[in-house]
Structures are given as structure tokens and as C-alpha cells.
Chain A
Amino acid sequence: MSDLSDLYQSVILDHNKRPRNRGRLPTATRVATGDNPTCGDNCTVYLRLDGDRIAEISFDGQGCAISQASASLMTTQLKGKTAAEAEAAFAGFRDIVTTGREPEEFSETAAFAGVHAFPARIKCATLGWHAALEALKQPDQPLSS
């Protein structure tokens, strides 16, 4: 069972049960949805940029503990970042979930290192990140209701 407690660390369970920045962001100017067609999970990420930085970010959707916790944690990581910094943060996160190597500096994202032992679940962990990067690529426009 040590493998599973590696996968479902307390940080992940906490973000799954008490997700941060969950729900539609009324002030969002960019939105993108990621779908996982094999399981039907989805994650929508809402962004409001202030200049070139992410001023506000939220997520919504349905999915497993890994995808929901990852999206929740991501929102806490990306707030205040530029698009380039967000891409670098995703590269770092992807390295953690695909290799199991923990980051040199302390980060809650290290909790996702256990995912690498479950290759089928890597796409769960990256679902929200893909949606966020997709939203960052879009032009600003008011969110239609």
C-alpha cells in the first residue's frame, strides 16, 4: 500500500476535499476547457490578466482526486505569473509527474511525484494545466454569460 499513499498524499487529498479557487470566475477574460475523452473528465480554467500577469484564476469541472487536486494546487501556483512563467511552472510540474523527481526548492507540487508510478494517471494530473496554458494563448475577451 506504500505505492498508493505515495499517489494519494495528504496534500492531494486536502486539495481534493477542499479545492482552492473553485468555480466560475465572473471577471474572467479568458477561459479554456480540457477534456479527457477516455474517462469523460473535464476541467475549465478561468483567467483574468492584469497586464501580462495572471491576476485571478479559478477552475471548475468534474474528475478524479488527482485531476481535481492538481487543478486546485495549480491555481495557487499560477496566480501572479506571466505566460512564460506559467509555461516554465508546467514544465517543472510535468517533470515531477513523469519522472517522480521532486523539485529542488520546496513546493507543494512535490506531492504529485507519486503519480509517475501510475502512468495511466499522468493525464489526470496535467488536465488542468493544459487548460490553463490554452486559456493563456487566447486573446482577452469578456466572458459571455
Chain B
Amino acid sequence: MNQPNKRLRTKASSLGWTAAIVLFLIIYSVIQSQRNQTNDQSVLNSEESRAQNVLDPLKEASHQSNTAKDEGAQQSDLGQQKEPNVSKSKSYPVASSPVSKKQTPANSNRPPPLNSSQRSTTAKTKPELGQLRDLGGKVWESAAGLKYGPGSREKHRLLHIMRHAEDQPNRPGKHGVFAGEGERKKVLAVIDEAYLKALKGGKKVERKKEGNRIVYTIDMDRRIGFVGGQVGNKQGKPSAYKIRLVLEGTNVITAFPL
């Protein structure tokens, strides 16, 4: 009597296991397909969102630099600029996908190669003049392609340039001061604009080359600041309409209004 009952129980148990495994496989495949769809969408949108994520914190850093009056404060401001790099990888949707740890083009941190239609979409979101992106090694590149790296007595060219965001009335000679209420983004935007104008050339651009240095003097056709320093203050802070850019290749050495 016990033998047939035992067989029946074993058959029922194995049927139950089979049904459970089939059900599990169906649920798993449905979840997988949904995840793949989400990933494809994320990859297509990632280029735009990534660029925005990188640049937004820089806007904040730029705003913070307005309040940085002394060199020490400016140093810490430069440090804050590095945060976007960290947040960039955090906010990149593909990287957070739990589907697989294996690094493939579809789920790695690296953006996928762009086809022609995606390139045109990216071109629409190119950064505004004055925005910076981190190239590593404390070098920052502006939207126009100018590079700001370590150097000068301020230890970084961005800090050196920002000396010209406010007057130094006791400085001997002239001291060009950018308009823009000391806001770094506005200062860098004018420099970017001047550089693009310099590259186009024309009557309003003077170019002097000496060794590896190029000095551009660009007439901006509008007031872009004033002349301060001892001489400028004696003359009543006359308006400045020109910018002088001193470059080594695309590396900025200095820039100031004239």
C-alpha cells in the first residue's frame, strides 16, 4: 500500500518543481527584457545628460568664486571645481545599471561612439562661453578651447586671471579690470569671445608672435571693463574696449582689458 503512494507523491513533487522552475524562467526573461529596454534608452540620452551634469556644478563653483576675496579662498574654490568629476560618474545612468558588472560598451562609464544623428544632437548642447571642463592635471579647458593650468605666483592661471576681476589701485602702472562684478564665468566668457574673434582675424585684431608666445590685442567694440591701477585711477578709471591675450599655443598665460 505504501509503495504506490510514495511513487505518486514523488511524481507530484517533481511536477511541482518543474512548474516552479518554468515559472521562474519566464519571470526572469520578462525582467531581463525590460531592463535591456531601459538601458538602450539610457545610453541614447546619456551624452546630453552627462554634459549637463558636468557643467552644472561648475556654475555653482563659479558663483562661489565671487565671494572668494583672498587667495586662500580662491584656492579652495579651485578644489571645489573638481567635484563635478565625482558627481559625473554618479549621475551617469548606465554606470548604475545592476544588470551586469562586465564592462562592455553598452554599460561601461565610457560614452558610446556617436553616430551622425547623435552628433547633431550633442552639438546643440555644446557649452556656453566661459564654461570650463576638467582635463585632469589641474588643467581646465574653456568652451573656446583655451587651457588654464598651473602657473604664475598665484599657482594657477585661473587665479591669476581673476586678479583682473577687481581693481588694484596701488599697483604701479595700469591694471585692466574686467566688467562682470568679479564673476568668473563672465570674465572667462569675454576672454573666450575675444579668442574666437582673434582666430577669425580682421582689422580689429592685432597679433604679435615672439618665440612660443602669441599676443593678441582684440578690439571688442564695446566696453568690457576699465583701466585701474595707479595710472587708471589718476585718469578716472577710463573704460576699456580691448582685451590683450598672452598665450602659449592654447595655454593662457594672462588676459586683461586695455
A and B interact physically: no
